């Protein structure tokens, strides 16, 4: 047994498939709203523990996470899988759509990380996998709310990875590919991502963090801008200020 693993989105699709795959190797805390379904599916499995949670309820989420940390202590593995489905165009989106997308797809992922990271840091061990989507890297028409909230999810995850790289804590993103689930009628089975998740949960101390993986491939998240050279240094010298404040003729429009 590797230890305790908390997974959201555990009632269907990719999350449910991962619960079945990981149970036995991990003590699995399975979170979703459909508790009856999880009890029915996992009820008699000795290492799966279903909990009812609406991730759109910020206070309820914080409260349950605090209870779980109090009960289970250091939870070294976290899989953020839960997500919403919204194909509306930008003009159709309501405030409620925008709010729900951010609550479930982004803020909930922050709340689970905030709850589990302190003990991961204290014990100098943690592995976090935030399910993402490569679709958000090349947004098309529709799915505006979903693209935006998953981009936020990516940013929170990568920032958290940098903030915790002084410890043996690895936080990576994982695109499951176009998968056949309740959410989407894709060509891949939910099992397609298992080996990538296994790899990310089993990373060594010198393994990658703050990166994105898609079915065994690493996907570049950000363009190679030479960011330090372009945007820094923060305490710019005179040459730098002259260069960026006095750009070449062709950029002046």
How many beta carbons lie within 10 A of that of residue 95, not counting itself? 7
* Minimum gap (Å) between residue 242 Cβ and ligand NAP: 45
Answer for the pair 177, 188: CB distance below 8 angstroms, yes or no. Answer: yes
Which two structure tokens, joined as six digits, stand for 179? 């998968």
Answer for the pair 169, 209: CB distance below 8 angstroms, yes or no. Answer: yes
Q: How far apart are CA 41 and CA 36, in angstroms?
A: 9
Range in contact with ligand NAP (rule: CB under 6 A) among 76-84, 89-97, 206-214, 224-232: 76-84
Q: How far apart are CA 36 and CA 43, in angstroms?
A: 9
Range in contact with ligand NAP (rule: CB under 6 A) among 113-121, 137-145, 163-171, 180-188: 180-188
Task: Give the gyration radius of the chain's Cα atoms.
Answer: 20
Coil, strand or helix at 82 = coil
Residues numbered 29 to 58 that lie near ligand NAP (CB under 6 A) are 32-34, 53-56
Range in contact with ligand NAP (rule: CB under 6 A) among 28-36, 63-71, 137-145, 213-221: 28-36
Among 51, 72, 125, 184, the residue binding ligand NAP under the rule CB under 6 A is 184
Under the binding rule (CB under 6 A), the answer on residue 14 touching ligand NAP is yes
Among 142, 186, 207, 208, the residue binding ligand NAP under the rule CB under 6 A is 186
Residues numbered 136 to 175 that lie near ligand NAP (CB under 6 A) are 175
Under the binding rule (CB under 6 A), the answer on residue 133 touching ligand NAP is yes
Rounded to 5 degrees, what angle do the CA atoms 87, 222, 144 make?
A: 15
Under the binding rule (CB under 6 A), the answer on residue 178 touching ligand NAP is yes
Under the binding rule (CB under 6 A), the answer on residue 12 touching ligand NAP is yes
Q: How far apart are CA 226 and CA 4, in angstroms?
A: 39
Applying CB under 6 A, which residues contact ligand NAP? Answer: 9-15, 32-34, 53-56, 81-84, 104, 131, 133, 175-176, 178-179, 181-184, 186
């Amino acid at each position: 047994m590797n230890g305790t693993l908390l997974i959201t989105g555990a009632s269907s699709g990719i999350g449910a498939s991962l619960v079945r795959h990981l149970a036995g190797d991990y003590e699995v805390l399975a979170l979703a709203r459909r508790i009856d379904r999880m009890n029915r599916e996992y009820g008699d499995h000795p290492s799966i523990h279903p909990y009812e949670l609406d991730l759109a309820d910020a206070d309820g989420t914080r409260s349950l996470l605090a209870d779980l940390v109090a009960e289970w202590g250091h939870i070294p593995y976290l899989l953020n899988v839960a997500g919403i489905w919204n194909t509306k165009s930008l003009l159709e989106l309501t405030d409620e759509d925008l709010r729900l997308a951010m609550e479930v797809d982004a803020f909930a992922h922050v709340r689970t990380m905030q709850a589990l990271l302190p003990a991961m840091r204290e014990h100098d061990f943690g592995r976090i996998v935030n399910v993402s989507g490569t679709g958000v890297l090349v947004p098309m028409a529709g799915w505006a709310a979903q693209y935006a909230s998953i981009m936020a999810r990516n940013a929170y995850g990568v920032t958290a990875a940098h903030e915790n790289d002084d410890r043996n804590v690895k936080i990576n993103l994982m695109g499951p590919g176009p998968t056949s689930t309740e959410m989407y009628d894709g060509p891949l089975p939910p099992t397609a991502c298992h080996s990538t998740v296994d790899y990310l949960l089993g990373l060594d101390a010198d393994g990658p963090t703050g990166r994105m993986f898609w079915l065994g491939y690493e996907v570049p998240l950000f363009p190679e801008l030479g960011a330090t050279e372009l945007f820094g240094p923060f305490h710019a010298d005179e040459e730098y200020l002259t260069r960026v404040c006095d750009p070449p003729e062709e950029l002046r429009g």
